[in-house]
Structure 1
């Protein structure tokens, strides 16, 4: 049985990764359509050993597809997701727009894929599923086995987020500023609020009244929705001069005792996690090693003796993959495994 897939925003960083991963994972697609804005019509995109030409989103008939994977930003998702869903296609949306709607599930398959059982059985479902923020996705994958083992009370996380999280403009700005510095050309910030080359910026997204940024709030709200609303979460989100790969320093307080060895074992047995935790130089993951990988890497697992039941750890993942493109495809794969049938075959 083949499924027909439309990738909306196919010419962007995440859209290209969606096409790559669909091919890599041999997703059971009989048709794949690359959709973009009118200015990108005809642009050639790689899909495995094939080349797709971008089609116009405005004129595409979504009644001909089973899945629409959207990575085109919140304003496009706000306008188009309900229209696509009304056509009968299942929308898996990568923007932040639908994440906090009570009738839209926010899914990381390794963590709360079971939610889709009830959603599929609901005749009044919206046909829209939200993909979480890239920082949240890798965080909850690492937290889930530990929450199951000892029940998490509180999480303090500091993120070190790559410029690709800000799209192609962010990547270009780091590249151009880095080159410019070496030829004595003073870097001029455009995408970011300050120079990003050879610098770190403790500011991602807009500031809120309480002093947190919206990016930090997303981690809080999404962790609660995906994992457990009772968990207390605080976050500091920082942009760093790394092209791809988000890192997180995570401090966790538990209700029940858990040792570093017990945590390490629970993480090793969990889906989607690779433990790299040697207490020696280089015995830990960094963004460079995780680029192109599906797994979320966990390192530096150690006990925090400042609280009764505490752990600290280091979490790294390719933000364009698990943080975005991979997770959307895993959602579609989960739906198929739970019995979602192609309309063409129905």
Structure 2
């Protein structure tokens, strides 16, 4: 007798955070084949209610979940939790898709953006862990991949304009509180950021490294090399801006082979995950406000750079909570399912 296919058991670790809530929304929106979804957080959040589609689920404490009954674990709980728990959960047989930076440079852990390097996912069996890239890297490589395939990128210089949601809910609250304080002439208090963020820009994301770059800038460089091509030279300047959601990037590229702006536009229009909005008129481009809540990586202001041979410049915008984090995580889970790399354990039993 043929067995009836059953759905997956999914755990979402960090379910009360910005990205965790977004993961739950996206799993529901995209109709992921889940029989059961378990929202998971720290013990202090146990019993908190979160939304999943039309239903409400109660959060379970991480240490109380039996991961031997879980097929896929989507994790967005920070590097310290990932370091401690992801290997344990992987050993229990659940495939962990981790959103922290902890496993991204591990050679035994694939770092995946499905539109860019889907085939690398096969390597997950070494540790049962897959890493999700940094939010600013994810949208960048989605835009770079089709152009790299056409003309081979040799150098990339990128300046990012990153929203406060990339630093968590407290950072969003700080921008809101500081903005209100400015309007009512209250003192502006700084807690989450090293300087005031309201009506300001901060050219520092994460800690400084010995060479003067920040860890965020270093992440963009090493992750782009791992996902796309180790030969690409990349220099990044990462800036926090007073925007709630969506990261923007000004990207300057040098290619091995000639490529025109028109060719680049045509290639990107056909590329998975990309949406070109590029009219040479006021408003003929996408801003972070319009990208919020959307799945696409938007590309505008595509133009040739006459200062270098085979150069292009462009503007790339994406919702950092979706493509930069939660959506990419769910797409990785879908890739595992569609390629039959993971089957529901209760079905196998």
- Distance (whole Å) between structure 2 residues aligned to residue 47 and residue 141 of structure 1: 28
Alignment of 1:119 onto 2:123: yes
SS of 1:51's partner is strand
Question: CA offsets per residue over residues 94-117 of structure 1, 9 Å max, x none?
Answer: 00000000100000000000112x
Q: Aligned partners of 1:237, 1:119: CA distance in 2, in Å?
A: 30
Q: How does 1:74-153 map to 2 (within 5 A)?
A: 74-116=79-121, 118-119=122-123, 125-153=126-154
The answer for the alignment partner of 1:183 in structure 2 is 184
TM superposition shift of 1:82: 0.4
**Are residue 342 (structure 1) and residue 344 (structure 2) matched?**
yes
Given that 2:108 and 2:123 are in contact with CA atoms closer than 8 Å, whether structure 1 keeps it comes out as no
CA distance in 2: counterparts of 1:65 and 1:84, whole angstroms? 9
* 1:1-346 matched pairs, under 5 angstroms: 1-116=6-121, 118-119=122-123, 125-339=126-340, 340-346=342-348
CA deviation string 1:84-142 (max 9, x = no partner):
000000000000000000100000000000112x326x5xx210000000000000000
Secondary structure at the aligned position of 2:160 is classed as strand
Show structure 1 runs of 5+ residues with no match: none
Q: Following the alignment from structure 2 to structure 1, what is the Cα–Cα distance between the partners of residues 160 and 61?
A: 36
1:58-91 deviation digits (Å, cap 9, x = unpaired)? 1110011100000000000000000000000000
Work out the CA distance in 2 between the residues paired with 1:291 and 1:324.
13
Q: CA deviation at 1:186?
A: 2.1
Structure 1 runs of 4+ aligned residues shifted over 3 Å read: none
- Give me the CA root mean square deviation: 0.7
Q: Distance in 2 between matches of 1:172 and 1:65?
A: 34
Following superposition, the deviation at residue 341 of structure 1 comes to 1.3
Cα deviation 1:147-174 (Å, max 9, x = unaligned): 0010000000000000000001110000
Q: Which runs of 5+ in 2 are unaligned?
A: 1-5
SS at match of 2:225: helix
Q: Is the 8 A contact 2:160 2:237 kept in 1?
A: yes
Q: How far apart are the structure 2 equivalents of 1:145 and 1:88?
A: 35
State how far apart, in whole Å, the 2-side matches of 1:342 and 1:100 are.
29
Does the Cα contact within 8 Å between 2:99 and 2:131 map onto a contact in 1?
A: yes
Instruction: Report SS of the residue matched to 2:254.
Output: strand
SS in 2 for 1:288: helix
In the aligned structure 1, how far is the partner of 2:188 from the partner of 2:145? 41
CA distance in structure 1 between the partners assigned to 2:347 and 2:273 by the alignment: 31
How does the TM-score come out when normalised to structure 2? 0.97
Alpha-carbon shift at residue 188 of structure 1 (Å):
1.5
Give the number of aligned pairs. 342
